[in-house]
Structure 1
Amino acid sequence: MATREDVSAPVQRMQECFDSWQFDQAADLHTPGSLSHPLGTTGFEAGKDAWRVLVTRFPGIRVVAQDILIDGDKAAVRSTVERITSPGGDAQPMLFEILRIENGRFAEMWGASAGFPSSASPEDLLG
């Protein structure tokens, strides 16, 4: 059984990698066949490509975990995304992710977002 630390540590490390643009180190946090449901891909290459496009479009972007809830080998994460302008300019964009951890690495990911401009949508980033 995974401990709380086993599940929360890779989540926090992934956000650190994103915020510091250490995408190759983030790749090490994923199993070789990790499945991203939002991107419809396996492996981390598509995720790394999407991150690169996102930080190029929004150089100051920063992801901040507001809540990390752990249940067995899964983490539910609610994050705000700073330094990116939402379409209405009101609230900060948010990410909602569920991550399944296997041997300390991400094996599967589900996600949704709110308040992002269309230029930051997964379809546009991978387009």
Structure 2
Amino acid sequence: MSHRSRPPAPLEHPVSRRIGPDPVGFRRIRVPRTGETLVTDDARAVGRRMYTAFNARDLTALGAILAEDFVSHPLGTTGVAPVSRAWSGLFAAYPEVRIAVEDMLVDGDKVAVRSVMHGAPGGAAPDTGPTMMEIFRVVGGRITELWGVSGLPRRGE
């Protein structure tokens, strides 16, 4: 009886796997390498620290949370000081303001957050605040760049 060997199976990329059919064929998802799990956990932890610092009115924590050359796309600024001034302005205008994180999704070094700013005007209902959507990038344990939109009325509105 002859034993025939099978041809080798096609090689898969080491960080992806097939998860099932879609209309075109198979979709691939990224499976993080061992070190990437740490990046995801670090990114989530930095995000949590940022919102905790905001709610605690801890402006000094910004120096440990944001990179020195941090870029805020909504503010159109670079650096930590403009964020500190913006937070101080919010605290002065809305003494009861606090952020409640509703969802935090992490993909590698990027974090997407949906939150509600309680104690500020602009919410969909009288007793809720405006919704915010933010995406930020974490490098070396600090936030380096942030994009965002919110329902908070701008000055003069």
TM-score class, shorter: 0.7 to 0.9
**Count of aligned positions:** 120
Q: What is the rounded CA distance, in whole Å, between the counterparts of 2:108 and 2:41 in structure 1?
A: 11
My pick for the range that moved more, 69-78 or 84-93, is: 84-93
Residue in 2 aligned with 1:25? 61
Q: Is 1:86 the counterpart of 2:122 in the alignment?
A: yes
Residue in 2 aligned with 1:104? 141
Which of 1 and 2 has greater Rg? 2
Cα deviation, residue 3, structure 1: 3.0
| Aligned ranges 1:27-42 → 2 under 5 Å | 27-42=63-78
Q: What is the rounded CA distance, in whole Å, between the counterparts of 1:67 and 1:88 in structure 2?
A: 18
**Moved >6 Å (runs of 4+):** none
SS at match of 1:39: coil
8 Å Cα contact 2:123-2:130 kept in structure 1: no
Cα deviation, residue 118, structure 1: 2.8
Q: Which TM-score applies when normalising by structure 2?
A: 0.70
| Aligned ranges 1:1-127 → 2 under 5 Å | 1=36, 2-86=38-122, 90=126, 91-114=128-151, 116-119=152-155
Q: Which TM-score applies when normalising by structure 1?
A: 0.86
8 Å Cα contact 1:66-1:78 kept in structure 2: yes
Unaligned runs of 5+ in 1: 122-127
Deviation string, structure 1 residues 50-69 (Cα, Å, up to 9, x no partner): 00010011001000110001
CA RMSD for the aligned pairs? 2.0
Identity across the alignment (%): 32
Q: What is the rounded CA distance, in whole Å, between the counterparts of 1:86 and 1:103 in structure 2?
A: 35
8 Å Cα contact 2:121-2:129 kept in structure 1: yes
Q: What is the rounded CA distance, in whole Å, between the counterparts of 2:88 and 2:60 in structure 1?
A: 11
Unaligned runs of 5+ in 2: 1-35
- Give the aligned residue type for 2:83: G
